[in-house]
Chains A and B, each alone.
Chain A
Amino acid sequence: MLEKMIFGRYIPGDSFIHKLDPRSKLLFVLFFVVAVFLANNVATYGLLLAFTLFVIFISRIRLYFLLNGLKPILILIIFTFLMHIIFTKEGTLLVDLKIIKIYEEGLRQGIFISIRFLVLVLMTSILTLTTSPISITDGMEDLLNPFKRFKLPVHELALMMSISLRFIPTLMDETDKILKAQLARGSDISTGSIKQRIRAVIPLLVPLFVSAFKRAEELAIAMEVRGYRGGEGRTRYRQLTWGSRDTISMVLLVMLIGALYLLKG
């Protein structure tokens, strides 16, 4: 059940996107996310969607797998789409079903917001699917480095992030194991009233918390035993290198933003 989730997963590969420097990928996604909000008409949303599909294509991740993994979010997108269709009452009336009246503006808004949502989710998923958690944090640390001057504990933040990313799959596995054990004892999470279902989550959460705390303590001890003491003077095994690929992707980004700016209404 949980094995279909793709949040925080990394699929190793050697596509153009995989080979990009994590810094350029992070910058790209950051500016892309902002640029998405420039879009406001058919041309700009079309461009965004086409561009995202292009990125998915060169990342060589199967679209079916991507959409299947994002099912929970797709449901949310469909929900927002329906909300827009039902509650926006502007423009010409398109369909009249007595109870539900669909207006042109509602449909337009619904489609636009859905595309915006979808594009954002797809792009950030591509980032995490093609970049190992370690590179993401390395890239993040590097990008945040200038802020060290303002006493921002950059290394500690990056460490916290990499630890939490590192433990996502572990916790998922553990959840699955405990879930199976409780199911075997007759616990029932998928049926019953809402109240019953919420109560059925307790046997899952308590053991999960217990083991998470135990794990945290063990990790802290293991780090201390090996003499870990923060980022001061720490060298890195993996060096980040900015290549021509990264420059190309930045140029593409600038072009995309330029095009969005020109095409927007």
Chain B
Amino acid sequence: MDISLQNVGYFYSKDTPFEKRALQGVDATIHSGSYTAIIGHTGSGKSTLLMHLNGLLKPSEGVVRIGDTTISAGTKTKGLKDVRRHVGIVFQFPEHQLFEETVVKDIMFGPMNFGVSEEEAKRRAYELITLLGLPEDVAEKSPFDLSGGQMRRVAIAGVLAFKPSVLILDEPTAGLDPRGRKEIMELFNHLHKKEDLTTILVTHSMEDAARYADNLIIMSNGTSVMTGTPEEVFADEEKLASYRLGLPRSVQFQRDFEKKIGRKLSDIALTEEQLAEFIAKAALEEGADSC
């Protein structure tokens, strides 16, 4: 499902003394099947933007197109439930949305709201518990008895359970330990490929964006200021710095390395693995030169 935003603007508390502009003139296109990362400083409008992507917020100005649905300021809320079935959002700290008596019931909540039969919802719930690496005996436990990391996984399962074709992740790994972080990001990447999802990741981590995304949207002060592939975006270090954003560690290391050896490497190393490879190659060439 393609998503496109045209000149989107949004005000919080419109027509009150608290009125605050959160978005202005956002233009972006997210193609079906792409992995898009939305990056920006705190308060740059990332979270507001993503609530426009499934009709939780309606733009005060401009138009949002999600598949065949067009949403603008006057759109009725009624028809939007269908959009939400196709676009799942994992919010920041999603464990706050847990409420059911048992983990299974909580995971079944989404699918059953969207008209999936009880048996099917239950089957999916058990499947997801295994997929997310939760121990099997949590199924009948209360979600409030789990550890923070496990609650996070249950909440994520609750969104995956209704099989959205677009998956939006708002800092899904915030507050997790490094290992859990990596596991969850790898899981999303795996799902993205296997289920052919359109994934949108809101993140602070340049490393995650560089590693997983094939399309970046940089937000600053409520508007989209840069878009493009990671290679394109990370090539312009100065522009990024002007939005108070840095480079991913691997690219930063590469730049420092290039300065030391006095020549540029041909490609940008988006991950540590690529970086190691490029450096090994450079070292070999260097060795060959000096012989």
Contact = CB atoms under 8 A, between A and B. Distances in A.
Interface of A: 3-4, 6, 9, 11, 61-62, 64-65, 68-69, 174, 177-178, 180-188, 190-191, 202-203, 205-207, 210-211
A207 B96 CA distance: 6
B148 to A, nearest CB: 12
B77 A4 contact: no
A191 B78 contact: yes
A253 B110 CA distance: 57
B85 A186 contact: yes
B97 A181 contact: yes
Contacts of B51: 180
Interface of B: 12-13, 15-18, 51, 54, 56, 77-78, 81, 84-85, 88-89, 91, 94, 96-99, 109-110, 113-114, 144, 158-159, 162
Contacts of B18: 3, 9, 11
A174 B16 CA distance: 20
Contact of A180 (B16, B77, B91, B159): B91
17 contacts: A9-B18, A11-B18, A65-B16, A65-B17, A174-B96, A181-B89, A181-B91, A182-B97, A183-B56, A184-B89, A185-B109, A185-B159, A187-B109, A188-B81, A191-B78, A207-B98, A211-B96
Nearest to B12: A3
Nearest to A204: B99
A183 B89 CA distance: 10
Top 9 closest A-B pairs, CB basis? A186-B113, A206-B99, A181-B97, A185-B110, A184-B89, A186-B114, A3-B13, A203-B99, A181-B91
Given A65-B16, A187-B109, A178 B84 contact: no
B157 to A, nearest CB: 11
B82 to A, nearest CB: 10
Nearest to B16: A65
Given A177-B91, A186-B110, A188-B113, A210 B16 contact: no
Given A191-B78, A202-B99, A184 B56 contact: yes
Nearest to A179: B56
Contacts, number: 74
A183 B109 CA distance: 11
Nearest to A188: B81
A178 B97 contact: yes
Nearest to B112: A186
B120 to A, nearest CB: 15
A178 to B, nearest CB: 6
B17 A203 contact: no
B16 A186 contact: no
Contacts of B109: 185, 187, 203
Contacts of B17: 11, 61-62, 65
B165 to A, nearest CB: 14
Contacts of A9: 18
A181 B96 contact: yes
Nearest to A210: B144
Nearest to B96: A207
Contacts of B78: 191
Contact of A185 (B12, B77, B113): B113
B97 A183 contact: no
A190 B51 CA distance: 18
Nearest to B97: A181
A161 to B, nearest CB: 23
Which of A3, A186, A187, A188 gathers the greatest number of chain B CB atoms within 10 Å?
A186
Given A186-B113, A190-B77, A65 B99 contact: no
A177 to B, nearest CB: 7
A178 B13 CA distance: 18
A168 to B, nearest CB: 15
Nearest to B78: A191
A207 B54 contact: no
A187 B96 contact: no
B250 to A, nearest CB: 33
